[in-house]
Amino acid sequence: MVLVVAVSLAACSGSDGASAPTTTVDPLAQRAVDGCGHDISTLTSTVTAVDPETGRVVWTASVPLADVYLLRDDSGGVRVPLQRRSVDALIDVDTGQVLDYPPAGVHEVLVDVSGTATGVVGMQVIDGERRPEQVPVDGLSVELVASSGPGGREMRATRPDGTVAWTTPVPSSVASSVSTRLVVYGDVVVVATSDQPIPTCT
């Protein structure tokens, strides 16, 4: 079975020909409520960029609760879709600075739960780009795994012979955690992980 989910978030605008006063509106001021009525406005995610050669954390950025995938911005930056928001977070890939909150768009998100569509069980496809669980970078295979320490998750790189090259802890809540697939942007591997447990529907 193949699961296809289209995420559509758009900002609306209109004009009646009259000039309107210029105002600055905080794009994050509006309450964010999930499909079960839980207020998720205060929940956050940490976006982490790691050097795939050494496992060194290059930068981290805090954003409102991220969705389960990352996007590539036309500027080359990291674009993070935010859950139940009408905007994305745009992050500079070199510094980790949150540059802007541009309007969200429409994206095709596919998770191949049986391997029928892509030949790989669990493969995620975002707007036609494959996002495997293990990312090949510089001869290493990098993935997000459960931490061998107390709770949380870690990024781990293994060599072709199966030995571990490095491990790096990443922020993650222990229960009901939401994380994206790893994505390579230039010289770093990036992941977004939730900082708090995510409410579940009962």
* Domains of the chain by residue range: 44-131+170-194
pLDDT of 120 > 60? The answer is yes
Check residues 201 and 135 and name the one with the higher pLDDT. 135
Distances (CA, A) of 136 to 53, 89, 127: 11, 26, 20
pLDDT tens track for 16-69: 444 445 456 788 888 999 988 999 999 999 999 999 999 999 999 999 999 999
Is 115:108 a contact under the CB 8 Å cutoff?
Answer: no
pLDDT score at 10: 33
pLDDT in tens, 126-138: 999 999 999 999 9
pLDDT at 146: 86
Poorest-pLDDT segment among 3-12, 13-22, 71-80, 117-126: 3-12
pLDDT of 172 reads 77
Residue 2 has pLDDT above 70, yes or no: no
- Percent of the chain at pLDDT > 70 equals 84
Average pLDDT over residues 98-104: 96
CB contact set of 172 (below 8 Å; sequence gap of 6+): 147, 151, 152, 153, 179, 193, 194, 195
